[in-house]
Structure 1
């Protein structure tokens, strides 16, 4: 059980990443600082997952972050949402 309360309707976070991606590390550290947990999909280990990510996002770069079914984008996109005050409602099950 986590020390940080997570909303009951909090959506699952998915991060598509690779082993050598500094922005992936930054994104995970940022989410950790928010008390969040996530499912990491390593596209460098599974070419089929890379194809799936590209089909879902129309992007080839990592990280690609999903909060529930909402495609947040990469690390910079997530931080921009945070600065605009729209990330926290999304993390709590609302919309951006």
Structure 2
């Protein structure tokens, strides 16, 4: 069973693209909006060193940005 959590903000176009991509591939995911939870944003920065979104945790592997190829690779 794959585990995908994507960290997003409300107005991020790449976040929308990523959610659409996963939905179109019938890949279930959990979304965490970091605008509503600044503590999680701090955790992301400490974990990945990156401020930007989307960030995805796929089966324990971090992928920063809109990168469908890396996500599919991490799922296989």
**TM-score band w.r.t. shorter chain:** 0.7 to 0.9
- Tell me the C-alpha RMSD between the 2 structures: 1.5
Q: C-alpha offsets along residues 51-94 of structure 1, whole Å, 9 cap, x if unaligned?
A: 0111111100000011011112210xx23436xxxx25x32xx4
Pairwise CA distance, 1:37:
1.2
**Deviation per residue, 1:14-70 (Å, 9 max, x gap):** 101011111000000001111111111111011101101111111000000110111
**Structure number, greater radius of gyration:** 1
Gaps of 5+ in 1: 1-9
Tell me, in whole angstroms, the C-alpha distance in 2 between the residues paired with 1:45 and 1:72. Answer: 21
Question: Is residue 79 of structure 1 aligned with residue 64 of structure 2?
Answer: no
Unpaired runs of 5+ in structure 2? none
Report 1:1-96 matches (<5 A). 10-75=1-66, 78-81=67-70, 87-88=72-73, 90-91=74-75, 94=76
Runs of 4+ with >3 A deviation = none
TM-score by length of 1: 0.71
- Count, aligned residues: 76
Q: Which has the larger share of helix?
A: 2
Higher strand share: 2
